[in-house]
Amino acid sequence: MDAPRLESIETLVQGRYWVREGLAGSFSPVLVGFHGYGEDAETLLREINLIPGVTAWKRIAIQGLHSFYNTRTREVVASWMTRLDRDAAIRNNVRYVAQVLDRELGSGDQQPPLVFSGFSQGTAMAFRAAAGVGRPCRAVVALGGDVPPELAGGDLSRLPIALLGRGSRDEWYSEEKLLQDLEVLTSQGVDARPVRFDGGHEWTDGFRSSVGRFLEGLQPQSED
C-alpha cells in the first residue's frame, strides 16, 4: 500500500474590513489596525476610535481570514494564523493586506502617511505588513505583542519608527520580551520607543493618550 501524501492548494477566501474616513478625506493620513486572537475588526476599530485626535486619520481595521465561534458568547471572531502551514499563511495574509490597501488607497506618487497598528496577535501582522506590502510605512504601533521571528534578521530596516506598548500587569507580553524586541528593532536601525503603562493585556486610556501624541507628530503640517 502506498503511504498517504499531503498536498496543499491555494483557494479564494472572503476577507472583510471596516473603514472610517479621516477629516481631510483622501488627503488624510492612514492608520491600519490588526486585532488580537479571538477578536474581530469591529472591536479593534472601537478601540482605535478612542485614540485622542484620531479623527484626523483614515482608519482601516482588517479582520483575520480564519473565523471561528467564541464558545462562550457564540460571536464570530477570528485569528490570523496557526502553526499549521505557517509560511503559506504569512504570505496569504500579507497579500490580503496589500489588496485592501490597493482598493482603499490606490496607486500614485502622492500617498498619505501610513501607519500600521496591532494588538496582541495582530502586532505580528503590523510588522509583517510594514515589511511586506510594498508601500512606504511611517511607523508601527504595537501593543502587547512581539516582533515575529522571521523578521528578526533585517527585513524591518526600512521601518523608521516603532512604538511598543506594554502594560505593567501584562502576563502575555513580558518585560523581557519587550526588551528583546527593542534590541531587535534597534539593531536594524529602527527608532524603537517603549511605552510602559499601568494595565494588563489591553488597550487603556493611558496608552491611547501616548499613541495620540505620537500620531500627531506624524501628521503632515499644514502651511499657513
Q: Are 197 and 204 in contact (CB under 8 A)?
A: yes
Type of residue at 223: E
* Residue 202 domain flag: yes
Distance CA 114, CA 133 (A): 11
Cell 504570505, residue?
91
* Residue 12 domain flag: no
pLDDT of residue 115: 98
CATH of the domain at 121: 3.40.50.1820
pLDDT of residue 2: 84
22 C-beta neighbours (distance < 10 Å), count: 19
pLDDT in tens, the chain (224 residues): 689 998 988 888 899 999 999 999 888 999 999 999 999 999 999 999 999 999 999 999 999 999 999 999 999 999 999 999 999 999 999 999 999 999 999 987 788 999 999 999 999 999 999 999 999 999 999 999 999 999 988 889 899 999 999 999 999 999 999 999 999 999 999 999 999 999 999 999 999 999 999 999 998 765 44
* Residue 3 domain flag: no
Number of residues in the chain:
224
What residues are paired with 142 via a beta bridge? Answer: 118, 164
* Residue 5 domain flag: no
* Residue 55 domain flag: yes
* Residue 1 domain flag: no
pLDDT of residue 224: 46
Number of domains in the chain: 1
Which pTM was predicted? Answer: 0.94
CA 116, 118, 124: angle at the middle one, nearest 5?
95
Helices assigned H by DSSP within the chain: 41-48, 86-105, 121-132, 175-187, 205-218
* Residue 27 domain flag: yes
CA distances (Å), origin 36, targets 27, 61, 132, 144, 220: 29, 11, 20, 9, 29
Give the range of the structural domain holding residue 38, as residue numbers without chain letter: 17-218
Cell 523608521, residue?
160
* Residue 81 domain flag: yes
